[in-house]
Structure 1
Amino acid sequence: MEHTPTGAGREIQLAPNELIVSKTDPSGHITYANRVFMRIAGYPEHLLLGKPHNIIRHPDMPRGAYRLMWQTLQSGREFFAVVKNATIDGNYYWVLANVTPDYDLRGKLQGYYSVRRPPSRNAIAAIEPIYAEMRKIEAAHGKAEAPDASRDWLLAQLQEKGCSYQDFILNLNADVLRAKGVNG
């Protein structure tokens, strides 16, 4: 996949009260997308349903961030992240994503439920250089080792600060979440 330089395309911003909602099956294929998702990403429903959720993955996003997400979800915990997504026409949009495993009454994983809202501008400014460094680390490693290498670097940076990735993301977005009455 060819990498689009940061800043290429135009940023699409969610309105302050907009939420993007989607559901996937256990393998990450989209089973539901709300109208806001379709409008912001530019995809009609028939081009989203049944497709892998990474159809909207922006090349500026390090693979290590997704490795951390999947490890967190597979351990049964919810995951928060600031994510840069791509639109169908080459633009991009930032979200504060909350992804949660969805279990049936017997405890069997049914898939994942994701709610995305606008992140704080400070969160975007803080995460962009971190993701840039993670992409450099990934470029210096083989394809198989790259996600783990960048994830490990990120976790080591946060350990030095004495916080988890989730705490880091929630703290960066505390003002946005407080304004919406959301507690992380």
Structure 2
Amino acid sequence: MTADLGMELHADTLITSKTNLKSLITYCNHDFYTYSGFSESEVLGKPHNIVRHKDMPKAVFKLLWEHIKEGKEVFAFVKNRTKNNEHYWVFANVTPSIDINSNIVGYYSVRRKPNPKALEKIAPLYDQMLQAEKSGGIEASTKILAQVCQQAGKEYNELIFALQRGDV
């Protein structure tokens, strides 16, 4: 199976954005606007999920939020939607932004071009997770992701990196 990559990112693309603690966008770079099709006035102050594609399992974002609220970084393959309802895949790194007193004050995300071979594995997994969410909720989808990690013998972030490198 070949994953539908949608609009493909250039190899040197770095899409960046920052949000506050409520996930409202406080900053985006030029690449964010280029790929999403949104303008600055359309996204600043808006929830970051403005670019969330309906094909993304909720369990992936649940895991993401668990990591960053604990002060940990997380990596994920994410299918984003554009203003025109097209899509593009990214390899995302999300980290908490920390102030001088070690308090989390927001979140920072950098996205780059994903390994197309990784998407050939991720896209069907996400489809399976979405189907599980329809019948069994986020818990059912989370269980599938946990099983995939267990079968690979890797923690979530390790598995994502292995896929991006082409090792799995």
Q: TM-score, normalised by structure 2?
A: 0.93
8 Å CA contact retained: 2:75, 2:94: yes
User: Alignment length, in residue pairs?
Assistant: 164
- Equivalence map 1:63-82=2 (5 Å): 63-82=58-77
Could you tell me which runs of 5 or more consecutive residues in structure 1 were left unpaired when the two chains were aligned: 1-5, 176-184
Q: Decide whether the 8 Å contact of 1:67 with 1:148 is kept in 2.
A: no
CA distance in 1, matches of 2:148, 2:17: 31
In the alignment, which of 153, 158, 165 is matched to residue 162 of structure 1?
Answer: 153
More divergent stretch after superposition (147-156 vs 59-68): 147-156
Cα distance in 2 between the residues matched to 1:155 and 1:55: 27
Distance in 1 separating the partners of 2:138 and 2:102: 29
Q: Who is 1:150 aligned against?
A: 141
Residue 21 of structure 1 pairs with residue 16 of structure 2: yes
Query: 1:161 offset after TM fit, Å?
Result: 2.0
Report how far residue 152 of structure 1 moved.
2.2
Amino acid at match of 2:93: N
Contact 1:78 1:100 in 2 (8 A): yes
Q: What letter matches 1:163 in structure 2?
A: K
1:103 to 98, 101, 105: 98
Query: SS of 1:173's equivalent?
Result: helix
- Determine if the alignment matches structure 1 residue 127 to structure 2 residue 122: yes
CA distance in 1, matches of 2:164, 2:125: 16
Deviation (angstroms), 1:149: 2.2
Q: Specify the code of the residue in structure 2 equivalent to 1:167.
A: E
Look up the match of 1:178: none
Residue identity matched to 1:165? Y
Shift >3 Å, 4+ stretches: none
Q: State the identity %.
A: 40
Runs of 5+ consecutive residues of structure 2 not aligned to the other structure: none
CA deviations over 1:143-171 (Å, ceiling 9, x no partner): xxx12321122112211221111111101
Aligned residues of 2:56 and 2:78 also touching (Cα < 8 A): yes
Question: Over aligned residues, Cα RMSD in angstroms?
Answer: 1.4
In 1, Cα distance between equivalents of 2:73 and 2:134? 29
Equivalent position amino acid for 2:156 in 1: Y
Q: Give, in whole Å, the separation in 1 of the partners of 2:139 and 2:52.
A: 18
**Residues in 2 aligned to 1:127 and 1:157: alpha-carbon distance in whole angstroms:** 11
Cα distance between partner residues in 2 of 1:82 and 1:35:
21
> What pairs up with 1:39-78 in 2 under 5 angstroms?
39-78=34-73
**In 2, distance between residues paired with 1:45 and 1:115?**
17
Q: What is the SS of the residue equivalent to 1:39?
A: helix
